[in-house]
C-alpha cells in the first residue's frame, strides 16, 4: 500500500472500547482508500494502516464471529 497522509484525519474512539476506565482504547481514522488504527493512550506512536477493503472484510469477520480473541 502506498503512503497515506493521516495528519488531517478525524480520529474516533470505539464506544465499546475500555468501558468507564478507558484503559483499552483504540481509535480509527479514514483517509481515502485507507483506514488507520492507533492506541488512544499514545496517539503520537505508530499507527497501523490497512486498505479500506481489507478493513471492511475484518469488520465483517468480527460480525460473523469468525475472529476470536
Quick count: other Cβ atoms within 10 Å of Cβ 23?
A: 10
- Asked if pLDDT for residue 8 goes beyond 60, the answer is yes
0.75 exceeded by the pTM? no
CA distance 36 to 53: 12
Angle, CA of 31, 35 and 41, to the nearest 5°: 105
- Residue pair 26/38 in contact (Cβ under 8 Å)? The answer is yes
pLDDT at res. 29: 93
Per-residue model confidence as pLDDT tens digits over 14-56: 776 666 665 678 899 998 889 999 888 888 888 899 999 999 9
Amino acid at each position: 500500500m502506498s503512503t497515506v497522509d493521516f495528519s488531517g484525519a478525524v480520529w474516533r474512539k470505539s464506544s465499546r472500547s475500555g468501558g468507564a476506565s478507558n484503559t483499552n482504547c483504540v481509535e480509527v481514522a479514514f483517509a481515502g482508500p485507507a483506514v488507520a488504527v492507533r492506541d488512544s493512550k499514545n496517539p503520537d506512536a505508530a499507527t497501523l494502516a490497512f486498505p479500506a477493503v481489507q478493513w471492511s472484510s475484518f469488520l465483517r469477520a468480527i460480525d460473523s464471529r469468525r475472529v476470536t480473541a
